[in-house]
Homo-oligomer: A and B are copies of this chain.
Amino acid sequence: MLDTTINQSLKDNDTVSGDRAGVVEGNYRASCLGCIAREVGACAGFVGERLSSRQSAAGEVPSVGQYYPARRPIVHQREVPDYVPIICSGWAASALVTHGGKRQIVSFSLSGDMSSAAYVFESCSGRSVEAISEVYCRKFKRKDFQAAVQNHAAGNPALSKLIAKEREASDQLHVDLSRRSAETRIARLILSIAARLRSKNVGAGEDFEFPLRQQHIADATGLTTVHVCKILSRMRAAGLIRTGGRHMTILDRAALQEIADQ
C-alpha cells in the first residue's frame, strides 16, 4: 500500500463514488489566509466544509478540492508537490517512511490545518500526507498561495506564527522521542490532541472524536502497536481514559497530566 505509485493513488481517488463529487476544481473563492489565521487561532476564519462554499471573504485563490476516503494517500512521499495542501475537514497524518519500511508520523492535521508550512516555501518531498478519517483537502498552487500571503496584511505575520508554532511542536516531538517514556509520550499525544480539538471546536470537552488506530499512535510515538495496546489497557484499567467507537474520553485529566509532565 505504501508503495502504490502516485498515478495509481490519483486514479483511485478519481473513482470515489457517492453523493459527493470526487474532484472539485476551479476558481473557488477560498480564504487560504483565513486558513493560516485559523491555524494559529488568530481569528475565527473559515473552516472545513465552508471552504468549498462561496462565502469566504479574504481573497480569491484558485485551488483544487477533493475528498479522500480514510487511509488514502493525499500527498505521496515520492511526489514533489508544487502546491500547498490544506485539510478542510477530517483527520490526516504527515509521515516519513524509512528504508526499512518503518513509518514516523510527524504531525496530525485536523480541519483547517496546513500539513506543513514548509510547503509554502519550497517543493519538498520525502514526506507523505495520508487521510485517517475521510478528508476534504484543498490544494493551492504554491505561487498563488505565496501571492495571497503577500497581498494580505495579515498574511506574513500569520505565516510567521505558524512557522514558530510548528517549530515548537517539532522540538517537543524530538524531546518526546528521545527522552520520555512510552507512557508519557502517549499521555502527551492524547492531551495535545484534546487541546487542539478544544481550540478548534469551541468547547470540545473531555469526550471527543478519536479516529486514530493504535498503529497511528505507534507511528507517532515511535513505539510498537503491541506496546501501545498494553499502555492504553493500563490507562483504561487505572481509570484515566475510556476508548471505543472511535471516541476517547478523558476521565482523570489531573492524573494524565501528571504522567505527561514527566
Contacts and interface: CB of A to CB of B under 8 A. Distances in A.
A261 interface: yes
Nearest to A121: B160
B96 A164 contact: no
A99 interface: yes
Closest 7 CB pairs of A and B: A178-B222, A122-B164, A121-B160, A177-B177, A122-B160, A124-B164, A118-B167
Contacts of A174: 96, 104, 106, 170, 173-174, 177
Interface in A139-179: 159-161, 163-164, 167-168, 170-171, 173-175, 177-179
A84 to B, nearest CB: 13
26 contacts: A96-B171, A96-B175, A98-B175, A98-B179, A99-B262, A100-B262, A104-B174, A104-B175, A104-B178, A104-B179, A106-B171, A106-B174, A116-B167, A118-B163, A118-B167, A121-B159, A121-B163, A122-B160, A122-B161, A124-B167, A127-B171, A173-B174, A174-B174, A177-B177, A177-B222, A178-B221
A96 B100 CA distance: 29
A239 interface: no
Q: How large is the interface on A (under 10, 10 to 19, 20 to 34, 35 or more residues)?
A: 35 or more
Contacts of A180: 98
Copies of this protein chain in the complex = 2
Nearest to A170: B170
A164 B121 contact: yes
Contacts of A118: 163-164, 167
A15 to B, nearest CB: 32
Contacts of A222: 177-179
